[in-house]
Amino acid sequence: MTTATPHTFPTDFLWGGATAANQIEGAYNEGGKGLSIQDVMPHGITTPRADGPTDDNLKQVAIDFYHRYAEDIALFAEMGFKTFRFSIAWSRIFPLGDETEPNEEGLAFYDRVIDECEKHGIAPLVTISHYETPLHLADTYDGWVNRDLIGFYERYARVLFARYGARVKYWLTFNEINSVLHAPLLSGGINTPKDQLTKTDLYQAVHNELVASALATKAARELAPTAQVGCMILAMPAYPLSPDPDDVFAALTTERTNLAFGDIHVRGEYPGYYLRSLRDQGVELVITDEERALLKEYTVDFVSFSYYVSVAETADVSQRVVGEGNIFPGVRNPTLKASEWGWQIDPVGLRTVLNQFWDRWQKPLFIVENGLGAKDELITVNGRKTVIDDYRIAYLNDHLVQVGEALADGVDVMGFTPWGCIDLVSASTAQMSKRYGFIYVDRNDDGTGTLDRFKKKSFGWYAEVIESNGASLSR
Ligand code: BGP
């Protein structure tokens, strides 16, 4: 890292934006693509899965990035992006997931996406698996509960590193890996409904993913020696609701359910508190000596994370007023305001997370998701359609100011890729109206719209932040 003086960003800071295949690409049955779990989740995690694809699923078309990627990447370049985070749809490469040969048409699509990035000097940041396990693996194997998934994923990762490893430097193995504990189908392709899933199966799925992540890192070392592999954690700091020592420990226990994933990815072994929690829950895992050795040897190069909300925690059940959160809820913090979707807004929490992760792991940190999901109104100003999204600018400004503080604290931060840099379909609710982008996409929750793109006010604001390397932020 280039040393940052207080409140300035390093000269090699990776400014950019983040997306996921199922939320932008559409073309759900084109190019030889197989079905993924997203094709049976028309309403995100708000309703049980469907049997097969349904017309009310906005992700079938999403924002049609599959056909419009060149135009979209050109817009990212206009903002000055140094990096673009996208995911590869597993079911484009292996339509069923358990084949031995990949689908060339799927591979060729991502060649073209990477070509466009290179044309504009944008470094791709690729998530190997972002909430889109091939449906066949969910239906036939019950997703990550089954150890066979480890081999299927390793084969998939090896194909990606062999094909793109010389062109893609930054890789993430699993999006928000800790969310499998809360959204087993979305995050782990686990078909068994959550209320029927045993704790042992759930934690075995976690273990299988962690082993697969280590095997992907091993594959990268062999096939793409210049690649850097990171884990990706859903960060959600938990503050004690009161100074009562029992509340303080309750908050620590809640945080550790997330921190455990970083501990394992960085240190290569299960921490004692995690093993105790498994014992207390009566969970007995199947872990081979070979797997222990893999976890220990193939640890990550950097830690990436999403950050949207903090929560509170208390040991006093009568005080547990639960609010909304990213994928899973937490106890509401009475000191914070919330977004229209109830996600509590806490810029200082980002500085806290950055300091905590750096102190704990001493690995470079990458903020690969952050942002405000909000309803936007498209209006005409001087003959051009736009959105005056001062609320989004304020949210991102305040969070970036805290990133600057963390840099001044000495934290090694690699970059910042705000979520949904172009409007996309929401993961939790599958709505278009929950917008995060600098670029407005004309598509509505009922599927109507031209899919035309319009620059919001935040487009120019972010371009200036990047151009000035953070100097233009309001402090
Ligand atoms: C994270 C996911 C993303 C994304 C984001 C915003 O959990 O990694 O896929 O969607 O949250 O969440 P939502 O779309 O539910 O507003």
Q: What is the pLDDT of residue 4?
A: 45
The answer to whether 424 touches 415, Cβ cutoff 8 Å, is: no
How many whole angstroms separate alpha carbon 285 and alpha carbon 201? 9
The answer to whether 295 touches 214, Cβ cutoff 8 Å, is: yes
pLDDT one digit per residue (tens) for the chain, 475 residues:
544 444 689 999 999 999 999 999 999 999 999 999 999 999 999 999 999 999 999 999 999 999 999 999 999 999 999 999 999 999 999 999 999 999 999 999 999 999 999 999 999 999 999 999 999 999 999 999 999 999 999 999 999 999 999 999 999 999 999 999 999 999 999 999 999 999 999 999 999 999 999 999 999 999 999 999 999 999 999 999 999 999 999 999 999 999 999 999 999 999 999 999 999 999 999 999 999 999 999 999 999 999 999 999 999 999 998 888 888 889 999 999 999 999 999 999 999 999 999 999 999 999 999 999 999 999 999 999 999 999 999 999 999 999 999 999 999 999 999 999 999 999 999 999 999 999 999 999 999 999 999 999 999 999 999 999 999 999 9
CATH topology of domain 14-468: TIM Barrel (3.20.20)
How many whole angstroms separate alpha carbon 301 and alpha carbon 15? 19
Counting ligand 1 atoms within 8 A of each CB, the residue from 369, 372, 392 with the most, and so the one to mutate, is 369
Q: Where are the domains of the chain?
A: 14-468
Q: What is the pTM of this model?
A: 0.97
From 176, 209, 369, 405, active-site residue: 369
Distances (CA, A) of 5 to 36, 45, 357, 416, 468: 46, 43, 20, 18, 15
Residue 96, SS3? coil
Regarding the beta carbon of 428 and ligand 1, being less than 6 Å apart is answered yes
Residue nearest to atom 10 of ligand 1 (CA): 427
Residue nearest to atom 15 of ligand 1 (CA): 428
Residue 458, SS3? helix
Q: What is the pLDDT of residue 3?
A: 47
Regarding the beta carbon of 176 and ligand 1, being less than 6 Å apart is answered yes
Regarding the beta carbon of 373 and ligand 1, being less than 6 Å apart is answered yes
For residue 425, how far is its CA from the centre of ligand 1 (angstroms)?
9
Residue nearest to atom 2 of ligand 1 (CA): 427
Regarding the beta carbon of 369 and ligand 1, being less than 6 Å apart is answered yes
State yes or no: is 369 an active-site residue.
yes
For residue 306, how far is its CA from the centre of ligand 1 (angstroms)?
9
Residue 224, SS3? coil
Q: What is the pLDDT of residue 7?
A: 61
Residue nearest to atom 16 of ligand 1 (CA): 426
How many whole angstroms separate alpha carbon 261 and alpha carbon 228? 18
Q: Which residue has the tokens 């090699």?
A: 12
Q: How many CB atoms lie within 10 A of CB 12?
A: 11
Structure tokens at 271: 């921490």
Structure tokens at 218: 């091993």
For residue 430, how far is its CA from the centre of ligand 1 (angstroms)?
10
The answer to whether 53 touches 32, Cβ cutoff 8 Å, is: no
For residue 104, how far is its CA from the centre of ligand 1 (angstroms)?
29
How many whole angstroms separate alpha carbon 275 and alpha carbon 299? 19
Regarding the beta carbon of 187 and ligand 1, being less than 6 Å apart is answered no
Residue nearest to atom 9 of ligand 1 (CA): 427
For residue 199, how far is its CA from the centre of ligand 1 (angstroms)?
25
167 CB contacts (<8 Å, ≥6 apart)? 114, 118, 124
Residue nearest to atom 12 of ligand 1 (CA): 427
Regarding the beta carbon of 370 and ligand 1, being less than 6 Å apart is answered no
How many whole angstroms separate alpha carbon 475 and alpha carbon 459? 19
For residue 189, how far is its CA from the centre of ligand 1 (angstroms)?
16
User: What are the residue ranges of helices labelled H in 142-243?
Assistant: 148-164, 184-188, 199-223
Residue nearest to atom 3 of ligand 1 (CA): 427
Longest dimension (CA), the chain: 67
Minimum-distance ligand 1 atom for the alpha carbon of 373: 16
Beta pairing, strands 170-174 & 238-240: unpaired
Measured in degrees and rounded to the nearest 5, phi and psi for residue 15 equal -80, 140
For residue 85, how far is its CA from the centre of ligand 1 (angstroms)?
14
